[in-house]
Amino acid sequence: MKILGIETSCDETSAAVLDGDLNILSNVILSQDEIHAPYGGIVPELASRQHIKAISYIVSQALERSKLGLEDIDVLAVTQGPGLIGSLLVGLSYAKGLAYSLSKPLIPIDHLESHVYSAFIENRDIAYPVLALLVSGGHTSLYSLPQSLDFHLLAKTRDDAAGEVLDKIAKYLDLGYPGGPVIDGLAVQGDPARFAFALPQMSDGSLDFSFSGFKTAGLRKIKEFGLNRDHPAFLDFLAGFEFSIIKFLLHNLDRAVQAISPTSLILCGGVARNTKLRKAFEDYADRHKLRAYIPSPNLCTDNAAMVAALAVEKLRQGPDSGLDLSINAYPRR
What is the C-alpha to C-alpha distance for residues 21 and 24, in angstroms, rounded to an integer? 9
CB of 186 to Zn ion, least distance (A): 23
Instruction: From 59-67, 168-176, 231-239, 297-305, give the range in contact with Zn ion by CB under 5 A.
Output: 297-305
Q: Which does 236 bind (CB under 5 to 8 A by kind): Zn ion, ligand KG4, none?
A: none
Q: Are 111 and 83 in contact (CB under 8 A)?
A: yes
Q: Where are the beta strands (DSSP E) in the chain?
A: 2-7, 12-19, 24-31, 75-81, 106-110, 130-135, 140-145, 152-155, 264-268, 291-293
Listed residue (312, 325, 329) closest to 124, CA to CA: 312
Say how many residues touch Zn ion, by CB under 5 A: 2
The interface mask with Zn ion, positions 85-124, x = CB under 5 A, is ----------------------------------------
Pick from Zn ion, ligand KG4, none: which does 110 bind, CB < 5 to 8 A by kind? none
Least distance (Å) from ligand KG4 to the CB of residue 299?
Answer: 10
User: By C-beta, is 98 or 246 nearer to ligand KG4?
Assistant: 246
Q: Which of 188, 181, 189 is nearest to 163 (CA)?
A: 181
> Residue 218 touches which of ligand KG4, Zn ion, none (CB < 5 to 8 A by kind)?
none
Cβ contact 168:183 at 8 Å: no
Contact positions toward ligand KG4, by CB under 6 A?
10, 136-138, 163, 166-167, 178-181, 184, 269-271, 273-274, 301-302
Residue span binding Zn ion (CB under 5 A) among the ranges 43-51, 132-140, 211-219, 274-282? 132-140
Q: How far is Cα 3 from Cα 305, in angstroms, rounded to an integer?
A: 9
Residues 133-162 that bind Zn ion (CB under 5 A): 136
Q: How many residues does the chain have?
A: 333
